[in-house]
Amino acid sequence: MSKLSELFAQCALEDRAALIGYLPAGFPNQNDCAKIIKAMIDGGVDAVEIGFPYSDPVMDGPVIQEAAEIARRNGITMSRTLDIVKEVADTGTPTLVMTYWNPIEKYGVEKFCSDFSRNGMVGTITPDLPIEEASTWIANTKTHAIHPIFVVAPSTSDERLKLVTAQCSGFIYAASMMGVTGTQTTVSNTAGILVDRIRKISDTPIAVGLGVSNRAQAAEVAQYADGVIVGSAFVKALLQNPNDPISAVSRVANELAVGVRER
């Protein structure tokens, strides 16, 4: 059983959702990125998604786009991202990478799976890889014991939902709404409906992302999801508190960690 599967099993025993935190690699800078992610973990984050900053982030909202652009200006590379993944994974925390397909293809599919799995990555989220074109990717993830995680949305048809979720491992990423990432004042009620649809066809854990930014929203999503994914709230805290990043992300993590336990 992988560290990710163990996490969801443990959270089920504790009758709570897992808190999954996201941060782009190399943000706010390459030296402090891993240190800040460790502060998120110390604050209560159960698993980490490290995003690879990409020039055409179709799923990312303005907050994460800004962070990704800062990281790109700082010279982040796939090689340096690999170093950050290893440093975070060495804490024992389930560590994933979220990346668009082009960077993987450019790096080399087999090389990506080999290098990153060897350095502790347990899974990869590929938001723009169509399932119909994913056979080579899925074969390589199986070879290297990586969880392939795909994104489904409220607009996903029942037929396609079966097709995509059947290929997911570790967890299924359920987008709470149509559109891009970003903090919201409320979480769309379509998220619960989507989770119900997935539950009817899959036993794989379901993590909901897009829009969760505070304790109340985390608690709301934790009522029906196995995991709560938060990214923009951490990035926003760092953008607003550049002189005290550790305290900034710790406060957000503490608040959200309480929320996912309020089932």
Residues taking part in catalysis: 49, 60
Question: DSSP string covering the chain, please?
Answer: --HHHHHHHHHHHTTSPEEEEEEETT-S-TTTHHHHHHHHHHHT--EEEEEPP-S--TT--HHHHHHHHHHHHTT--HHHHHHHHHHHHTTT--EEEE--HHHHHHH-HHHHHHHHHHTTEEEEE-TT--GGG-HHHHHHHHHTT-EEE-EE-TT--HHHHHHHHTT--S-EEEESSSS-----SS--THHHHHHHHHHTT--S-EEEESS--SHHHHHHHHTT-SEEEE-HHHHHHHHH-TT-HHHHHHHHHHHHHHHTT--
